[in-house]
Structure 1
Amino acid sequence: MNATSLRGALLAALACVLVGASFTANSVLGDYPFAGGQALRYGLAALLLIPFLRRDPDSATARLRRLTCRQWGRIVLLAAVGMVGFNLAVLAAEQTAEPAVPGVFVGCAPIVVGVLVPLLDGRRPSRVTLYAAGLVAVGAFTVQGWGRTDLAGVLFSVGALAGEVGFAVLAVPVLRPLGPKLLTATVCGVAAVESALLGLLLDGGSFLRVPTGGEATALLWQAVVVTVIGFVCWYSGMQRIGAERATLFSGLIPVSAALTAPLVGAGTYGLAQGAGSLLVGAGVAYGSGVLVLGRRGGGPGRGAGPRPPPPPPRAPPGGEAGAGRARPRR
């Protein structure tokens, strides 16, 4: 693994660990209006990113103007599906299912992304990435366990999986022209507007209220740590190692949640969580090229990245040269 890939892997890992460790903040917001909380969180995150955008040599406004209508459509869909829709699907699933159920479905995102992204790019999925994604999905299932559910819980959990996949896949075509910081600020601004419209539609003027001290702290944590730092790290990592390999690190979300839950008395970390964490770690290491299981040279599998060219043949003497248990809320 070269320096760029290593940095990308570390950024993606940090983003997922922050999301997993944020579930305590989510529990504090149980009584706060959903749409209003999302509007405040994403709106604040977009505002916090504006000073950083002014430091870019290429104007953020100029880059936004260069976007096509199709790219703007992707950004609107990314915010609606991968952010607002994802959180709404998780909340709806938990009305009739235990939190582990949507968590297990979201843990399958690396497999879906590992198949979908290469196909959309006109290439075959990497077997290495798929093997690694399988390990990550099994590990996430082991950490989360399975819980009570019904058909509605399963369907909404599938919707949460679609949101997790969309958060990565829909960002691929707009990540290059915008970059991680501008993309994060833009989708957060769009998500804030979408959340406000959803709140007005569902709850009218009561969708927003003054938060309590605990709720304000939780919203601030989500906006600053999970959204600004987490999203920028996520897209920075994805820019370096690709969506397929970056999504493998989403398996760290339930692991991080399981590790931090005992600190606040919200769960225990036992043998199953330890075994699942090892499986997730093995899948991430294998998919990112750190762990070699029967691969010559230890490089990434097909589709994971370009291979270095072979060295030129040596010239003979005197002649020429010869003939990749938690509430998963984003």
Structure 2
Amino acid sequence: MKLDREKNGSLSEIKLFDASGKELPKGIFSEYPSQIGLQGRAFRILARVFPYESAVTWFHLLTAAAMALVAVVILFLLNRKFGIGMAVVWGAVFLLSPWIVQFARNLYWVEFTWFLPMSFGLLCSVYADNKKIVGISCIGVFLSVFLKSACGYEYITTVMMGTILFLMADAGTALLTDKKEFPEIFKRILLVGIAALLGFLAAVCIHAYIRADGDIWRGLCSIYEKNVLERTWGGNPEDFPESERASLEASALTVLKLYFHFDTSLIMGISGKLFGGLCILSVLALFWRIWKDKIRGEIDKSTLYMFFLLFSAFLTSVSWFVLGKAHSYIHTHMNFVMWYFGFIQLLIYIPLHMLWIKLKGYILRKKRKR
């Protein structure tokens, strides 16, 4: 039911109180024109289905369940591609990360839309030889990137790169081990990348149409001038509020440095202070393994793949810190979640995997001696 001004009073007269009864500073309700806001439109329709008193609780449950479902799909595909070890580590990170869990039920961020494109990109990588599944993956990428963009453009570079994360690792490995495979993998990257770009552009055009009352070109200009320049690069600090000027003046390196210092745990039981150490440990472990393989005259393909996957995951995560520089400078209370598009998972998996290889080798040597 709509609130009635005569019966309920004006929204401008609303008062908010904290738990102790102290009145909170006044805010205002206003239109947020920076996105289509598809999630708000969907929840408004769904609100008619659920009881008024419990609707928000149901929305939280549905949103968290959607994130859980997407995570399960990703874990299933990881198990198919890499085995149970990789799936277990990713599952543990999804479950125990304070960042992933905090966003999971949020009705603005609708976190499942961030990882849904990745699931389709991973599907394409796992079933690369099946043209039908590759086609389904491309359609899924288009629709899921459109869905994410229609709910908001924040983190879109990381989300879109996440769709080709595993395909980039496929390509890098093929380039060094089997160059005949590379053209086919590159073609899949192009197909998935174009699908993602089209999904993004479709959402932008609809947003522009809404924003400028049917004039798409004027809407696009407005989005560029008032949103893109404000959150990324190129904006004149003098054209924006004083509170945002420092973010526009900061360099990409300055912003990147902010995100190498965690104030929280990476996951429950692993301190964020270990982030830098895990980065160094994982890279050194991979280089040590590659060096040892080179001495033996045969580099293990899986080690090379893991190197390219870690590098691709790093690029995926930092893309928003660099391209969304102004947004990342301000939103340090949120944007650490970008590291969880595979990079944190691999920082934990790689040392454990290398330790397992050493342990397995030791057990085999012991058996041979007997």
Structure 1 length as normaliser, TM-score? 0.26
Larger radius of gyration: 2
Structure 2 length as normaliser, TM-score? 0.23
